[in-house]
Amino acid sequence: MSFVEALPTENPVLAPDPDWWRGAVIYQIYPRSFQDSNGDGIGDLQGIVQRLPYVSSLGVDAIWISPFFTSPMLDYGYDVSDYKNVDPMFGSLADFDRVIERAHELGIRVIIDLVLSHTSDQHPWFTESRVSRDNAKADWYVWADAKADGTPPNNWLSIFGGSAWEWDTQRMQYYLHNFLREQPDLNFHNSSVQNALLDVARFWLERGVDGFRLDTVNFYVHDQELRDNPALEREKVNDAIAPSVNPYTWQNHVFSKSRPENIDFLRKLRGVLNEFKDTTSVGEVGDDQRGLEIQAEYTSGNDLLHMCYGFDFLSSAYPTGSRIAGVLNDFNAQASDSWACWAFSNHDVTRHTTRWHLSEDAHKVYLALLLSMKGSVCLYQGEELGLSEADIAFEDLQDPYGIKFWPKFKGRDGCRTPMAWSSNADNAGFSTSRAWLPVASEHMARAADVQDTEPSSVLNFYRNMIGFRKGFEVLLKGSLEVVEASEEFFAIVREFEGLRMYCAFNLSDAARQISLPKGVWTVEDTAPFEIQDVAKAPTLPAWQALFATQRI
C-alpha cells in the first residue's frame, strides 16, 4: 500500500490533550531540503504542504519545522532579521497558515524553531543598537569595552571558531556572538528584550502553532561580570557540542552560557505557552559537561519547559548497550520528574547511519530501541529512508562552519542534502532545477517511491515500529528500568498501569540466548521483528529485538 493510499478516508480530529507531547514522535523538516514547489532549487512551505500526506503515513504526532523566518541566510535561517515574517524564498505568511491548516487536517501538530538567543546583524534591533551607546536599543545586545590593550573583554570563544567578540567601529565596542559574527547575542538581562521575544512567541501561537523547539536554549543569558571561562581538563574534552578540531571544546563554559538567571525567562515563556491550549516546548541544550543536569533543571516542575534534548546520542560516541544504559540511568537519577526528548540525528550532525557505521539491520534495531526509551522522540527527515551522510565537495559547500574547519570537519551540509523522493526523477523529485545542495547519487536507490511498496524497507519498518509504539501506552508514558546491558546487548522493562513490557535488543552480528524476567510473558507479535518462542529460553538472532508483555 502506498503512502497516499494509506491515508485515512476522513481527516482525523486533533482531540484536546494537554499531554499529547508525552511520548510523541516528532518529525523534523529542514525546509530548504524537503520539497521545492516553484522550481528555484530551494525547498519551501508549499512544498511541505505537498508532502504532508507522506509525513502522515509515517504515523508521527507532530512536525518540527526548522527556521523559515526572514533572514540573510548566512546560517541558513538561524540568523533571523524579522521574527514575524516568512523569508520570500520559503513563501509567505499565507503559505505558513496553509501548512498549519493542512497538518491539523491530517492530525499532525506543528512545532516551529524559535531562535531567541541571537539575531542577524541585519535585524532592525541591532541596526539601531550599534548606532550609539545611548539610543533606545543600545542595551538590547551584549556590548562591552575593550581591555586597555584593545583585546576582547574576556576569553569566550565562538562555536564557529575564534573569539566570541567582534569589534564594532560605530560604537567603538565589542559585541558578543556565540556563533557567526553576523549573529549578535541578545541581552537577556534587559527586560525589554525578554518582553519583545515573548511577544514573538505569542505572535506564532496566535497563528496556530502547537509549540516551539527552542534553539540553543541554554545560551540565552550570559554572565554580567563577563568573567573568563576556566580551562577544561583535557581528559574531559569531548566532541558532543563542537568538533574536536575546534578549541571551543577546551573551555568549561560556565560563564558564557547556562546561567541560573535563565530560569526566570523560561518561566515567563511557559506562562505565554499556557495562555494557549495543548502547546508544548522542547529546548535544545548544548552543553558537553552538564547536559543532563541542565535538562533536569529546565524541565523540573510544571512551570518551565515541557521537555529538553541534549547531545547524548548526537555525538560520535557509539551507542553500545552499556553507554545507553549509562545515559538513561543518569537521566533517571538526575531528572526523575523531568521528560526527555531523544534523537539520533538532526540538521547539525552527521547522519547516524554514517556516524555509527550502521548496516540496514542495525539501523532498524536502533530505531526500535529509540522508540522504546522513556521520553519523546525526534526523527530527522530522511532517516526513515536510511539515508547516509552525503559527501559534499569543498566547492559545493554552503555551511560556513564546514568551510572554516575544512577538511578535518566538513560541516553540516552532508546531512542537509535534498530529500530523495523519486529514484527516476531529476534531483530525486526534490526540484525541477539544480538544487541548492547536490542530491547524493547514493540516495537515489533509497528514494521514498522505491521503499514505499517494499514491505521490508527501512521506510515501512519506521511506519510499523511507530505504529507499534503508539499501540502501547506503556511505551509512551511508562517508567523505565534497565535490566541488562553490555556492549552488544540492551534490555529494559517499561511499566504503566498494570502492564509491564520487556524490550530486548541484540546489538551484534551473532545470535544470543536471553532470559526474560520472572513470570509469564507474552511475545507481542505485532512488533516488526522475528517472533521468538519464549516457552523455551529464546534465542535472539543478530540485530533483532523482542517485545513481551506481562499483566501485574
Rama region for 524: left / alpha / beta (φ>0; ψ in -120 to 50; rest): beta
Which residue shows C-alpha cell 550609539?
Answer: 132
| Nearest alpha carbon to residue 352 among 340, 364, 336, 334 | 364
Residue type, 39: G
Q: Are 228 and 260 in contact (CB under 8 A)?
A: no
| Nearest alpha carbon to residue 36 among 429, 475, 498 | 429
C-alpha cell at 346: 538532526
Helix (H) and strand (E) counts in the chain: 13, 20
Q: State the number of CA atoms in the 13 A half-sphere of 164 facing the CB.
A: 28
Alpha-carbon span 374 to 314, nearest angstrom: 17
Q: Are 116 and 214 in contact (CB under 8 A)?
A: yes
Alpha-carbon span 481 to 500, nearest angstrom: 11
Distances (CA, A) of 141 to 27, 73, 186, 264, 544: 33, 20, 4, 19, 52
Alpha-carbon span 95 to 86, nearest angstrom: 9
Q: Are 213 and 284 in contact (CB under 8 A)?
A: yes
The backbone torsions φ and ψ at residue 132, rounded to the nearest 5 degrees and listed phi first, read -160, 175
DSSP secondary structure code for residue 467 in this structure:
H
Burial 392-413 (b: 16+ CB within 10 A, else e): beeeebbbbbbebbeeebbbbb
Alpha-carbon span 481 to 513, nearest angstrom: 20
Paired strand residues for 111: 64, 211
Pairing, β 211-214 against β 109-114: parallel
- Tell me which residues are annotated as active site: 215, 275
Name the percent of the chain in helix, strand, coil, to the closest 5. Answer: 30, 20, 55
72 by Cβ neighbours in 10 Å (0-12 / 13-18 / 19+) ranks as middle
